Amino acid sequence: MDGVAVEPIEEVGESSSPPRAVGGPGVYDIKNEIYESLVASGNEEVLSNPHFKEQFDAHFSRLPASYKLDLNVDRAEDVLIHQKVLTEAKDPDKRPVFHVRFIKLEEQNLDVTKNNEDTEDESDFGDALSARHDVTYAVIHEIIFSTTDKPKLLSQLSTLLSDIGLNIREAHVFSTIDGYSLDVFVVDGWSEEDTDDLHKEIEAAIIRNEGSWSGSSHSSATERILSVQLKADDWDIERKLLKMGEKIASGSCGDLFRGSYLGQDVAIKVIRSDHLNESLLLEFHQEVSILKKIQHENVVRFIGVCTKPSQFCIVTEYMHGGNLYDYLHKHHNILELTMLLKFAIDICKGMEYLHQNNIIHRDLKTANLLMDSNLVVKVADFGVARIQNQAGVMTAETGTYRWMAPEVINHLPYDQKADVFSFAIVLWELTTSKIPYETMTPLQAALGVRQGLRPVLPEYMHPRLLDLMQRCWEAAPAERPTFSDIRVELEELLQLIQEARATNHQENNASKEYEKQVFLQN
């Protein structure tokens, strides 16, 4: 396969691919040529199957049009492998299905390896996105996975490959229309051409994480336990008092509704009962536990929670202004500098409060920043937020690749400074009104960030703002400022700009008054 493709959106901005031209008059369609190549090859699997053409067409109809862009006629047999793993994935007992094969030996660039020795402490972490190997030849393998599609599957597969010391060179990730994944990884890091031992290692890694592949199995015991835990205070509200309105967003495991509670507008995040499992319920409990602890003008206000089994929902204030992602990218707003600074200061105040309470957000991005009717920005969505442990570090990869700090991508220990890195990307986004790394897939962006890639610096950005942004996305977390420091700098800059504009306004008025007097005198 050539190039990189990524499955449909898991969350706003996370897994959306760059736009690619597919179809249309005169566009070459590789599908027919692949079919003819398979028939002409004399492949027994093809010739002995009277329904092959029908199954071949059905295979392509299940996958997005971009799938064709990553196929090669010289490797037409790839399609047969893809068909096989997708078919096997329909059996729950076999999921996740995987296929391993050796691709080639590749000579390494020794000069590049030598140059990278100085930065080994930043890159050699055994992570699938960061592993390096000081060898003359790299052994390249291809690993194909298929299972039921679900959120964060890309991260889960990357972690699995990391566990066995593999480095991802390419990723081709697709979702079928009937809810299955087709994930093709080109990797190095395995020293042998033979695939038997690699197959056993992958199988062992899957078994070690067996619970995480269980999908949406219902756990009534966990529901009951969490229901008791959450009802131990005054935050539990009666579902019958909630009036459900229009659905305003939909995710993989739940829906967000506008509604009312005791006469006030509210947002109601409902977990769909058919997606309840132990992992999701524990995440729900963690989010509620954090929401109960926080109250700040720049953090979305928690109102209550419903904890009856199969009726789990979180109720917060309704934010009439929507989220910043839509404000910038769907409504195409360009921020004037003072408005930009006010937005940034609001975010800093909310994040400063969270960090003072030892809470790391872990998924700071414009989609999780909401505005009220007065355009006051508030931090929202604490689904993956955590209270920082006593050691002050975490290692689990979470968040959204386009906004994710390099230490999180590389599975290094991290702390609150990971949120500061994400804020730098948000600040760039507020300045440019562009999606970060918009010409790349999320995984390409992540690979680039761990190698030092950052968004292109905007030429028209205020110099002090530009300097602050660059300090916030420093590779070394210790070099990044705190949100308290950032807030002070932004407030000082806003004051300077407002004073300068006030002075200019006074001077303009004085000039107009002078011109008026001269005119009257004449």
Worst-scoring range by mean pLDDT, 17-26, 137-146, 449-458? Answer: 17-26
Mean pLDDT computed over 381-388: 70
Structural tokens at position 510: 């004085």
Mean pLDDT computed over 124-147: 67
- Which residue, among 191, 145, 137, has the nearest Cα to 164 in the 3D structure? 191
- Which residue, among 300, 282, 302, has the nearest Cα to 223 in the 3D structure? 282
Q: Which residues contact 478 (CB under 8 A, 6 or more apart)?
A: 417
Active site residue 415: no
Report which of residues 50 and 472 the model is more confident about. Answer: 472
- Which residue, among 472, 438, 287, has the nearest Cα to 362 in the 3D structure? 287
Euclidean distance between CA atoms 286 and 381, whole angstroms: 12
pLDDT at residue 292, as a whole number = 86
Which element (helix H / strand E) includes 106?
strand 97-107
Q: What percent of the chain has pLDDT above 70? A: 76
Report which of residues 3 and 448 the model is more confident about. Answer: 448
Q: What is the pLDDT of residues 417-440, one digit of tens each?
A: 999 999 999 999 999 999 999 999
Euclidean distance between CA atoms 268 and 257, whole angstroms: 5
Q: How far is CA 264 from CA 293, 317, 411, in A?
A: 22, 8, 42
Confidence (pTM): 0.60
Euclidean distance between CA atoms 485 and 55, whole angstroms: 61
Q: Name the active-site residue from 183, 188, 363, 415.
A: 363
pLDDT at residue 279, as a whole number = 67
282-290 — which CB contacts under 8 Å span 24+ positions?
Answer: 282/222, 282/226, 283/383, 283/384, 284/226, 284/312, 284/314, 285/226, 285/229, 285/230, 286/385, 286/386, 287/314, 287/382, 287/383, 287/385, 288/230, 288/235, 288/314, 290/359, 290/382, 290/385, 290/386, 290/387
Q: How far is CA 103 from CA 126, 144, 164, 190, 199, in A?
A: 22, 13, 18, 12, 15
Report which of residues 5 and 264 the model is more confident about. Answer: 264
**Mind giving me the DSSP string for 107-164?**
E--HHHHHHHGGGHHHH-SS-TTT-----SEEEEEEEEEE-B--TTHHHHHHHHHHHT
E strands of 372-427, at which residues?
Answer: 377-379, 386-387
pLDDT at residue 406, as a whole number = 93
- Which residue, among 143, 158, 121, 145, has the nearest Cα to 190 in the 3D structure? 143
Structural tokens at position 49: 């199957």
Mean pLDDT computed over 465-493: 97
Classify residue 74 by its DSSP letter. G
Angle at 425 between CA 390 and CA 15, to 5 degrees: 95
Q: What is the pLDDT of residues 162-185, one digit of tens each?
A: 888 888 888 888 889 888 999 999
Confidence of residue 442 (pLDDT cuts 50, 70, 90): confident
pLDDT at residue 345, as a whole number = 97
Q: Which of 112-121, 122-131, 233-242, 470-479 has the highest mean pLDDT?
A: 470-479
Does residue 4 have a pLDDT over 60?
A: no
pLDDT at residue 205, as a whole number = 84
Each residue of 209-231: b (16+ CB within 10 Å) or e?
Answer: eeeebeebebbeebbeebbeebe
Q: Which residues contact 236 (CB under 8 A, 6 or more apart)?
A: 230, 304, 305, 306, 307
The strands making up 137-146's β-sheet, listed across from edge to edge, are 97-107, 137-146, 181-188, 167-175
Does residue 90 have a pLDDT over 80?
A: yes
Report which of residues 101 and 68 the model is more confident about. Answer: 101
Contact 386, 360 (CB under 8 A): yes
Q: Which of 154-158, 213-217, 271-275, 436-440 has the highest mean pLDDT?
A: 436-440
Which element (helix H / strand E) includes 322?
strand 322-323
pLDDT at residue 299, as a whole number = 95
Q: How far is CA 176 from CA 64, 67, 99, 180, 275, in A?
A: 7, 10, 18, 5, 19
Report which of residues 17 and 31 the model is more confident about. Answer: 31
Question: Which domains, and CATH codes, for the chain?
Answer: 30-213 (3.30.70.260), 220-317 (3.30.200.20), 325-498 (1.10.510.10)
Report which of residues 406 and 397 the model is more confident about. Answer: 406
Confidence of residue 278 (pLDDT cuts 50, 70, 90): low
